[in-house]
Amino acid sequence: MNQRQLVAGGKSSDGGGRPGKNGDGAERHETIYQSISDAIIEHRLKPGARLREDALAEVFGISRTGIRKILQRLAMEQLVTLTPRRGASVTRPTADEAKDVFDARQMVECGLMPEVARRITAEDAQSLRELAVREREALRAGEQSVAIKLSAAFHGRLARISGNATLAAFVERLCSRSSLILAVYGNAGHLGCESHDHDDLVGYLVSGNGERAQAFMSRHLKAIEASLSIHVEEDEAPDLFEIFSG
Amino acid sequence: MNQRQLVAGGKSSDGGGRPGKNGDGAERHETIYQSISDAIIEHRLKPGARLREDALAEVFGISRTGIRKILQRLAMEQLVTLTPRRGASVTRPTADEAKDVFDARQMVECGLMPEVARRITAEDAQSLRELAVREREALRAGEQSVAIKLSAAFHGRLARISGNATLAAFVERLCSRSSLILAVYGNAGHLGCESHDHDDLVGYLVSGNGERAQAFMSRHLKAIEASLSIHVEEDEAPDLFEIFSG
DNA sequence: ATGCCGCTCATTGTATACGCTTTCCGCTGC
DNA sequence: GCAGCGGAAAGCGTATACAATGAGCGGCAT
């Protein structure tokens, strides 16, 4: 019983502290999923970090069964990589994947802007501006982790406004992966620093100017992508012939 | 030992027929996943059909653990729905979901056409035409199940040519869901009957006319969507106030 | 001394056992 | 006769135990 536990450790409101019978099991899983997901997106778990099932099971106070379920979900979202007999590790995106993700964001997020401009309400705009403010505050406070997560949340919520749940979920996953890409290829202290892009974007949207918002989003994403330093590091499977025959 | 088994039941080449020790476990899982996925896409398992873990475990000769893993994967692709204490069933898409899926296909598949036109090779075209031919043959032979799967495969492979693995995977999932939507809202004997759309599309692509291919794809998808009979059946949670106050 | 082989440990993959929730059916009371 | 309640069964959720595999390491032979 002296094991360190998280998630339900703060509340511990399940009567007598019996660890096995906590209220709703599904919510528990969801919370743990969020914890791990956030840790990855906020770069507290860096790409390549191994995620051993035993360790996670002990930390969160559930059995490996539940952990495996969560890891598989994270794997489907490509936040972690499952190597057959080696277990799970935080995904290290390749340069190709990075390009694919940003191309996809260009297509989908830009394509969504007209519809978003048509549907956005005052509350939506307010909520978005709030996210943008908090993002800038976090950035100013030096909390890059929080800023990254807030930026992803901004883009995700934006997509939700379109009303298309399928595309919104896709965008959210692309944003999560983008966070990983930033962790590998991003230049520290250079990501969207202090830029008012998000505020400006909301401005164009509330004024109903979908075309302009679309163009602006395109430039915004291009700027982020351009700020990456894509050094094609071919760690795995280096071409030995190429290397030693030259 | 007298239980019916599938997948590996045909080969039974693992020495003496011991069911537990088949070659590679991962491949086995993949095969079972494909079996269930195909059955859903081909409408041999209809929307709403329950998928009991015990039954599937017995049929495929593995334990419930493996089945659960597969069901969760299918759930993430929204081919099956996992109801908390009720188990899995084939997803019955709502009208809203159907609209979202086709809107998403409009955006992504059409957006991909220019790049596909730029990259398509002779072998690609050949392979696509072959799929189109087989689809028409299946349709003529009355095997709608096969035709539906081939149509999804056509669109999926088309997307792959773009080179963007992320978007291609997304399109493939959208196509799988489209098969489900056809199962619920499609008019029998009316889906793409004998149309040469796919062949024509390949023609535009090999001639490098991305714009035209894009417009054609748009019309193609609109035609499919228009052929649906979206009867908004609100089975679950009927609004009693609405019904009895009117 | 060095290289190869085999051993042991660490870690994942799979199955099974148990508990809990839900549902269905039969019983009893009104 | 019908409605409500209780028990039994079926099926899912979770944990744990066991098996298999790969990696790291030390000993032995050359």
The whole-chain average pLDDT of chain A stands at 87
pLDDT of residue B186: 87
| Local confidence band at B193 (pLDDT 50, 70, 90 cut-offs) | low
d(CA A7, CA B72): 23
CB contact under 8 A, B107 and A111: yes
Q: Which nucleotide is nearest to B24 (CA to C1')?
A: C13
The answer, yes or no, to whether residue A172 has pLDDT greater than 80, is yes
Instruction: Tell me B81's DSSP state.
Output: E
C-alpha pair distances (Å), A27 with each of A33, A145, B84: 10, 25, 11
CB atoms within 10 A of CB B93: 21
Digit-coded pLDDT (tens) for B65-81: 999 999 999 999 999 99
Digit-coded pLDDT (tens) for A64-103: 999 999 999 999 999 999 999 999 999 999 999 999 999 9
The whole-chain average pLDDT of chain B stands at 87
CB atoms within 10 A of CB A193: 12
Q: Is the CB of B86 less than 7 A from some atom of nucleic acid strand C? A: yes
The answer, yes or no, to whether residue A22 has pLDDT greater than 60, is no
C-alpha pair distances (Å), B6 with each of A86, B61, B88: 29, 7, 20
Q: Are strands B80-83 and A87-90 parallel, antiparallel or unpaired?
A: unpaired
pLDDT of residue A231: 76
CB contact under 8 A, B166 and A104: yes
Long-range contacts for A169-176 (Cβ within 8 Å, ≥24 apart)? Answer: A170/A104, A170/A108, A170/B104, A170/B170, A171/A105, A171/A108, A171/A109, A171/A112, A173/A77, A173/A78, A174/A101, A174/A104, A174/A105, A174/A108, A174/B166, A175/A105, A175/A151, A176/A37, A176/A40, A176/A41, A176/A77, A176/A79, A176/A152
C-alpha pair distances (Å), B231 with each of A47, A48, B181: 47, 49, 12
Nearest to B174 by CA among B193, B161, B156: B156
C-alpha pair distances (Å), A132 with each of A35, A113, A176, B241: 23, 17, 17, 41
Q: Which nucleotide is nearest to A85 (CA to C1')?
A: C12
CB contact under 8 A, B174 and A166: yes
Average pLDDT rounded to a whole number, residues A196-214: 96
* Protein-proximal nucleotides of chain D (any atom < 7 Å from a CB): 11-17, 20-23
Distance A83 CA to C16 C1' (A): 26
| Local confidence band at A63 (pLDDT 50, 70, 90 cut-offs) | very high
The answer, yes or no, to whether residue B10 has pLDDT greater than 80, is no
Q: Which member of B72, B100, B112 has the closest CB to residue A165?
A: B100
Domains of chain A from N-terminus onward: 19-90 (1.10.10.10), 95-226 (1.20.120.530)
Q: Which member of A76, A103, A166 has the closest CB to residue B101?
A: A166
d(CA A233, CA B58): 47
